[in-house]
Amino acid sequence: MTTFTILPVVASSMLLVGMNPAYTCEAIHTHPEFQFSNFIFNQSDVELSLLTSDTESVDAEDFLNQLIEQHSLIDQMPAARAWLAEEIYAGKNTIAVLRLRAGLTQSQLAKKLDAPQSSISRLEAGRENPSFERAKKISDALGVTLDEFYIAFDLTRTETQA
């Protein structure tokens, strides 16, 4: 008997735990939800037949936060986000990269600004034009100058409209 755990991340891709190759997502929805499915197969020399399956839905952010807490990684996450900004997005100074460099999630930045997370998502997608006052608050929260913010904002809009 063989058990596979399948984690679909978006409709067209999934992560198969214990199988090669493992598929990961290329895009995350605004409110992603992981679907954990356990499939139990009866494997013989000739065929693989499904015995049973069960599925559980879990909010993606809750799931990731549980993993971070479970493995005592909360103190390491800001440095991990900053590393991600430097190693993966080197030379790309978009709003999202400035946020990662500051070690913040969209939700954390939103809390600092007393704004909904969806507003940060729209800003990072180049679909929101902040007022001067809001741009100043965001730049202060990210620890950058207003000029650096506007340069990153212009790059964000250019990249998202391309």
Per-residue pLDDT reduced to its tens digit, 26-76: 344 444 555 555 555 555 555 555 555 555 666 767 777 787 888 888 888
Residues 131 and 87 in one domain: yes
For the chain, the domain total comes to 2
Q: Which two tokens stand for residue 1?
A: 């008997």
pTM, 2 dp: 0.62
Phi and psi at 23, nearest 5°, equal -100, 135
Residues 65 and 78 in one domain: no
More confident of the two residues 84 and 117: 117
Residues 101 and 40 in one domain: no
Q: What does the pLDDT read at residue 42?
A: 57
Report the mean per-residue pLDDT for the chain: 74
Distance CA 9, CA 132 (A): 37
| DSSP characters over 107-149 | HHHHHHHT--HHHHHHHHTT-----HHHHHHHHHHHT--HHHH
Contact 148, 134 (CB under 8 A): no
Task: Tell me which residue range forms the domain holding 45.
Answer: 2-69
